[in-house]
Amino acid sequence: MKEQVSIGVFGGSGFYQFGEDVKEVRMDTPYGLPSSNIFISTIEGKKVAFLPRHGVAHIYPPQEINYRANVWAMKELGVKYLFGPCAVGSLQQKNKVGDIVFCDQFIDRTYGRKDTFYHGPTTTHISSAEPYCPSLREMAFKQADILELSYHKTGTVVVIQGPRFSSKAESQWYTREGWDIINMTQYPEAMLARELEMCYINISIITDYDCGIAQQVKHLPLADIMTTFNNNISNVKKLLYGIIKDLDIHSTCSCHCALENARF
Ligand SMILES: [Zn+2]
């Protein structure tokens, strides 16, 4: 029998477990298998599905992740609210290692990824003007204030194909454009969630400076970086618990009717 689960969380690098007394569920989708089994737990009286997007043992690099299967599996479980934490590099000095960014925009520099569920015959042009859920973002700001986190309410993430990192010239170009952070997984994950009318929020954890500005900033010892990163994973988990506690799983949001004006 299928679980009815309203909340979903994708784990990123360094984030492979969430919730206690988890029940492991194997899912299959029309798009193939998700990155791993899904781990379902109860948090604040609500069912939460957790899926590490790189697989439990981090076996799928960003360009090999089956994003459609991951997002579809969440939808099939009943998920309406989806959280996409991820590790990112900073492109601007003001975005410091250890800060959290709730992205409001992305720049897609990936290629060849399967990035839609809609191949006709019904033509579907979903809006990506505001890719991230406004309601979940407000809830996240509130929790970040309560936890006194160092965070940024907005940010543009450049999503590169990987697995290679940027060249210095590429990285400096992104910085000059004013873009904030860099990552390899936010596209197409965020848009696939929108295509299935789920609320989706990004929670980016800055782990380092990208190569274009790395020489301009003071370097921290690796041990300090690792400590900061582990503290931040812990903070993100606390943030998620807080939002889940506040979340009314019967609430409605504009994300839930994203297809209304997408078909002609
Ligand atoms: Zn929403």
Q: Per-residue DSSP letters for 180-217?
A: -EEESSHHHHHHHHHHTT-EEEEEEEEEEE-TTTGGGS
Ligand 1 center from residue 167 Cα (angstroms)? 35
Helix (H, G, I), strand (E, B) or coil at 59: coil
Ligand 1 center from residue 200 Cα (angstroms)? 7
Does 56 fall in a domain? Answer: yes
User: What is the structure's pLDDT at 9?
Assistant: 98
User: Which one is catalytic: 210, 224, 246, 248?
Assistant: 210
Does 54 fall in a domain? Answer: yes
User: What is the structure's pLDDT at 2?
Assistant: 57
Instruction: Give the span between the Cα atoms of 248 and 82, in whole angstroms.
Output: 14
Q: Any idea which of 14-18, 138-142, 219-223, 256-260 has the lowest mean pLDDT?
A: 219-223
Does 167 fall in a domain? Answer: yes
Does 1 fall in a domain? Answer: no
> Is residue 53 predicted with pLDDT exceeding 80?
yes
Ligand 1 center from residue 137 Cα (angstroms)? 9
| 232-256 confidence digits (pLDDT tens) | 999 999 999 999 999 999 999 999 9
Ligand 1 center from residue 49 Cα (angstroms)? 18
> Is residue 1 predicted with pLDDT exceeding 60?
no
Ligand 1 center from residue 154 Cα (angstroms)? 16
Average pLDDT score over residue span 58-72: 96
User: What is the structure's pLDDT at 168?
Assistant: 96
Ligand 1 center from residue 253 Cα (angstroms)? 5
Does 155 fall in a domain? Answer: yes
Number of domains forming the structure of the chain? 1
Does 73 fall in a domain? Answer: yes
Give CA 186 to chain center in angstroms.
Answer: 6
User: What is the structure's pLDDT at 228?
Assistant: 83
Q: C-alpha angle 179/65/69, rounded to 5°? A: 115
Does 262 fall in a domain? Answer: no
Residue 99 is among the residues annotated as catalytic for this protein: no
Confidence of residue 230 (pLDDT cuts 50, 70, 90): confident
Ligand 1 center from residue 81 Cα (angstroms)? 7
| 159-168 confidence digits (pLDDT tens) | 999 999 999 9
Average pLDDT score over residue span 26-45: 97
Confidence of residue 3 (pLDDT cuts 50, 70, 90): low
Whichever domain contains 167, its CATH number is: 3.40.50.1580
Angle of helix 222-246 relative to helix 134-146, nearest 10 degrees? 120
| 84-132 confidence digits (pLDDT tens) | 999 999 999 999 999 999 999 999 999 999 999 999 999 999 999 999 9
User: What is the structure's pLDDT at 229?
Assistant: 84
Average pLDDT score over residue span 145-150: 97
Angle of helix 186-195 relative to helix 67-77, nearest 10 degrees? 40
User: Which one is catalytic: 21, 99, 208, 248?
Assistant: 208
| Predicted TM-score (pTM) of this structure | 0.95
Residue 224 is among the residues annotated as catalytic for this protein: no
Does 101 fall in a domain? Answer: yes
Q: The domain containing residue 108 runs over which residues?
A: 7-257
Ligand 1 center from residue 166 Cα (angstroms)? 32
| 169-224 confidence digits (pLDDT tens) | 999 999 999 999 999 999 999 999 999 999 999 999 999 999 999 888 877 777 88
